Amino acid sequence: MSDTATEDTATEIARRLSGTFAKSGFAAPSVDDLRNAAQVSLRTLYKYYPSREAMVVGALRYRHDLYLEWISGGAGEGQGHVLHIFERLGEWFGQGGTNGCLFLNALAAHPNSREVRETVAEHKSCIKTEFLRRLVRISPDRKNDDPAEVLFLIHEGQTEAAMTQDPAKATRAALRSAEILLTKEGIPA
């Protein structure tokens, strides 16, 4: 099998596992449930993901790439360049993503897994870095580390609030909070 075919198979399995974990959580699905969801033999599943922990990490890495692609783009200037992330997260909720953060759910289910913890930390760091990158693009002469940290925390709050209240309400509140911060920082609309 070529490297591309192997990569495609691994990605497809990870995609299906990600969907299963998002829908059913990390504790409920048995390995047989995961094999069925992945639509492969047990041998193939273990070939690509040799342990349950590897299955979780593979699903998280797939979701990481998917989410970063999801939030890419948006307005090129002003507050809209940053607010785009919150808008896209709100749209993510409309796709059925209101069970909380898949990454934090994985960490809660596997608190002693170093690999899960590192994968979650890397994902969260990338989101924070994306806020910083966007701030630097629209206001390169400012110190942007602190606002990026606050925007990241608003993002995390939006994700968690969407579980307990109307996701649209959580999105509106996150957008308003981010707008207040950006205006206070002197970033033009």
Sign of CA dihedral 98, 39, 50, 34: positive
The answer to whether residue 77 sits within a structural domain is yes
pLDDT in tens, 58-75: 999 999 999 999 999 998
pLDDT digits (tens, 9 = 90+) for 3-43: 666 779 999 999 999 999 999 999 999 999 999 999 999 99
Average of per-residue pLDDT across 31-57: 96
CATH code for the domain in which residue 53 is found? 1.10.10.60
Element (H, E) at 93: helix 78-94
d(C-alpha 81, C-alpha 134), whole Å: 7
Domain tally, the chain: 2
In a domain, 100, yes or no: yes
Measure CA 120 to chain center.
Answer: 9
Q: Which residues contact 126 (CB under 8 A, 6 or more apart)?
A: 64, 68
> Is residue 122 a part of any domain in this protein?
yes
For position 94, what pLDDT does the model report? 85
- Give the count of beta carbons closer than 10 Å to the beta carbon of residue 27: 10
Q: What is the pLDDT of residues 97-149, one digit of tens each?
A: 668 899 999 999 999 999 999 999 999 999 999 999 999 999 999 999 999 99
Q: Where do the H-state alpha helices sit in 139-185? A: 145-164, 167-184
What share of residues in the chain are helix, strand, coil (percent, to 5)? 75, 0, 25
End-to-end CA distance of the chain: 52
Instruction: Using CB atoms within 10 Å of the CB of residue 14, give its burial: 0 to 12 exposed, 13 to 18 middle, 19+ buried.
Output: buried
Q: Are 16 and 109 in a shared domain?
A: no
Residues 54 and 81 in one domain: no
What's the pLDDT score for residue 1?
54
Radius of gyration of the chain (CA): 18
**Containing structural domain, residue 54:** 3-59
Strands (E), 5-135: none
